């Protein structure tokens, strides 16, 4: 059984720093303390639909729901722990199947968040590569 791990990792830039750096204060326009907001816990579980398994049962995973939309189309729903939050939803889950098959995976974000970074893939959970962007389709008018 082959497992495929999906994880969103923020891109890091490497560059040579100037000789002197000065920190500049930043005033956030509308700061909001989310400590009093309810937390939207995810249910840790492994989903099995039409031979496709998906799991969020590992540290740092984020996957709030998974369902089958059509024969080979599946939807992974991502919700933030609480709101308001910056528009950078993150997700991490494992996906695999017993038999080799092609599927379409939609990432659906709640609370009008949108996809911001390209996913990275791993077959072993240690070595990560950016997903081929020719395989990605974005719907700019929705949260998928």
Q: What is the pLDDT of residues 19-69, one digit of tens each?
A: 566 778 877 677 677 778 888 888 999 999 999 999 999 988 899 999 999
Whole-angstrom distance, CA of residue 62 vs CA of residue 44:
9
Q: What is the pLDDT of residues 86-101, one digit of tens each?
A: 666 678 899 999 899 9
Cα dist. 43→18, 55, 58, 90 in Å? 46, 10, 12, 16
Task: Specify the pLDDT at position 85.
Answer: 73
Task: Specify the pLDDT at position 19.
Answer: 54
**pLDDT category, 79, cuts 50, 70, 90?**
confident
**pLDDT category, 142, cuts 50, 70, 90?**
low
């Amino acid at each position: 059984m082959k497992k495929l791990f999906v994880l969103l990792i923020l891109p890091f830039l490497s560059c040579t720093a100037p000789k002197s750096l000065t920190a500049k204060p930043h005033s956030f326009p509308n700061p909001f303390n989310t400590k009093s907001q309810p937390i939207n816990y995810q249910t840790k579980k492994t989903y099995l639909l039409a031979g496709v398994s998906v799991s969020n049962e590992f540290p740092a995973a984020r996957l709030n729901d998974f369902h089958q939309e059509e024969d080979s189309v599946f939807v992974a729903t991502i919700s933030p722990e609480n709101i308001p939050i910056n528009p950078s939803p993150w997700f991490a889950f494992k996906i695999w199947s017993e038999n080799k098959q092609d599927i379409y995976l939609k990432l659906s974000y709640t609370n009008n968040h949108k996809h911001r970074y390209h996913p990275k893939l791993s077959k072993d959970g240690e070595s990560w590569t950016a997903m081929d962007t020719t395989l990605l389709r974005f719907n700019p008018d929705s949260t998928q």
